């Protein structure tokens, strides 16, 4: 399971011209699910993302987590993160989880994040949809986390 996080001042996701979710300061998470992922990976990555220290403290050092600042989390399913890009000029998707498995784990991730942060702080995209994601990157600060 892979999560690309970006520290944002705001972010939103839109499908068919309708805004599904939006957050203020926090993290935008692009979530990729791989074939071998399961509940253990969901819980491990969720804990890591919620506690990953990417927000500045009073001295400007990245010492605060999403939980510390009580920031928002916008979770967007991103199957292309599971692509194999090691060779050639076209990505391969044999390591990506099948859609049913990926959607189930995506929804479990959202449930875990909401249990930890509260429903009002966690937004979501729509699995399998053509989404438009808008963000105001803060920093920019971007990290790829894997479990």
Active site residues: 78-80
> 83: helix, coil or strand?
coil
Q: What are phi and psi of 29, to 5 degrees?
A: -115, 120
Range of the domain at 101: 2-85+92-146
Angle at 12 between CA 103 and CA 98, to 5 degrees: 15
The domain that contains 114 carries what CATH number?
Answer: 3.50.80.10
**Cβ–Cβ < 8 Å for 80, 130:** no
Sequential pLDDT tens for the chain (147 residues)? 999 999 999 999 999 999 999 999 999 999 999 999 999 999 999 999 999 999 999 999 999 999 999 999 999 999 999 998 988 999 999 999 999 999 999 999 999 999 999 999 999 999 999 999 999 999 999 999 999
**Cβ–Cβ < 8 Å for 122, 72:** yes
Structural domains of the chain, count: 1
């Amino acid at each position: 399971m892979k999560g690309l996080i970006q520290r944002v001042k705001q972010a939103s996701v839109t499908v068919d011209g309708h805004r599904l979710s939006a957050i203020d300061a926090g993290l935008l998470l692009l979530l990729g699910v791989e074939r071998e992922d399961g509940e253990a990976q969901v819980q491990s990555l969720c804990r890591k993302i919620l506690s990953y220290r990417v927000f500045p403290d009073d001295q400007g050092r990245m010492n605060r987590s999403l939980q510390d600042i009580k920031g928002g989390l916008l979770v967007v399913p991103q199957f292309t993160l599971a692509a194999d890009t090691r060779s050639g000029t076209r990505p391969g998707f044999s390591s990506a989880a099948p859609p049913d498995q990926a959607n189930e784990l995506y929804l479990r991730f959202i449930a875990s994040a909401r249990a930890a942060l509260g429903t009002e702080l966690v937004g979501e995209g729509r699995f399998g949809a053509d989404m438009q994601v808008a963000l105001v990157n803060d920093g920019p600060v971007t990290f790829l986390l894997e479990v």
